[in-house]
A = this chain, B = another copy of it.
Amino acid sequence: MSILTLLTDFGTQDAYAGIMKGVILSINPQAVIIDITHHIDPQDVIQAAYIIKSSYRYFPEGTVHVIVVDPGVGSDRRIVALEMMGHIFLAPDNGVLTLLMDEGKTGSIVSVENTRYFLKSVSRTFHGRDIFAPVGAHLCRGMDIRNLGSPLDPQNLVHLKIDKPCLSGKDRLVGSVVCFDGFGNCISNIDETSLKKIDTRGSGRMLEIKIGEHTIKGMSLSYADTEPKSPLAIMGSFGYLEIALNQGNARHALGIEKGDTITLEYGQEMHGEK
């Protein structure tokens, strides 16, 4: 079995993703190609960083993940290949692997330079077809990534600056909205670990989640947990706090934008509430 995933901002309106698959199958006819998604917001490296971090673990070890969200195509930005946790990642060196690399111990990292594994003619506008697809196809045939170029130190990769949630005072946590999903759920940078820093459940106080002018009281366990069209906060399936609307689109209904602040703190003691 040789699985290769694609994660791009190419959309599916054009032939771009299909052409990449043609190139891959020309080199590795056994490749099983899976689209993670081609609908990353154009050039949104942060969104892609969250999605690859949340997705890769559901694929078998040995999978090659090809990520082409690449505002710098045609410039002199580097392309890198990374071995980590039994998977291989091929991506522009623009920080899209930052969140992933925070997760654990990296294996080999190389700069992708060996033109022997590229298409013969490399355009300056479509490296997905000319470099990523053929290199990915060779990798999922089992080629050692060290054939691709010189080794790199993880410290030398471009590192994405992504806001992390922080404590303000003893028990107020301040995070922000990082991206949205297609249902309008607003995904934050607040994970379980951050949340535990202020977790004083059982103290008789209720957690309040504030975003813009909205205050949500308590966390929900499922989307169906509240009245229809009511905002709720939930630990989403990727392990981050989300603001959602039962049977609705929180992003649009609440007017939430990327970067909006989310504040979590414990309110007055519950028996003190009216």
A residues touching B (Cβ–Cβ < 8 Å)? 1, 3, 5, 7, 10-19, 21-23, 25-26, 29, 32-39, 42-43, 51, 54-55, 58-60, 63, 71-75, 123-126, 129, 181-183, 221-225, 234, 236-237, 247
Contact = CB atoms under 8 A, between A and B. Distances in A.
Given A75-B222, A123-B237, A125-B236, A15 B54 contact: yes
Contacts of A125: 222-223, 234, 236-237
16 contacts: A1-B29, A5-B18, A11-B182, A12-B35, A12-B37, A13-B39, A14-B37, A14-B183, A33-B34, A71-B247, A73-B223, A73-B224, A74-B225, A75-B222, A123-B237, A125-B234
Copies of this chain, how many? 3
B60 A224 contact: no
A25 B59 contact: yes
A25 B15 contact: no
A222 B73 contact: yes
Smallest CB-CB A-B distances: 10 pairs = A74-B222, A13-B182, A126-B237, A22-B59, A22-B58, A18-B36, A11-B182, A1-B29, A13-B39, A124-B222
Nearest to A2: B29
A224 B181 CA distance: 28
B43 A247 contact: yes
Contacts of A26: 58-60
Nearest to A77: B224
A200 to B, nearest CB: 23
Given A13-B181, A18-B34, 11 more contacts: A12-B38, A12-B39, A19-B55, A25-B32, A25-B60, A33-B34, A42-B183, A73-B223, A123-B237, A124-B222, A126-B237
Contact of A37 (B15, B33, B75, B224): B15
A35 to B, nearest CB: 6
Contacts of A247: 43, 71
A31 to B, nearest CB: 9
Contacts of A129: 58, 237
Contacts of A234: 125
Contacts of A10: 182
A35 B14 CA distance: 10
A124 B182 contact: no
Given A25-B60, A222-B74, A224-B73, A18 B35 contact: yes
A231 to B, nearest CB: 15
Contacts of A223: 73-74, 125
A34 B247 CA distance: 27
A25 B29 contact: no
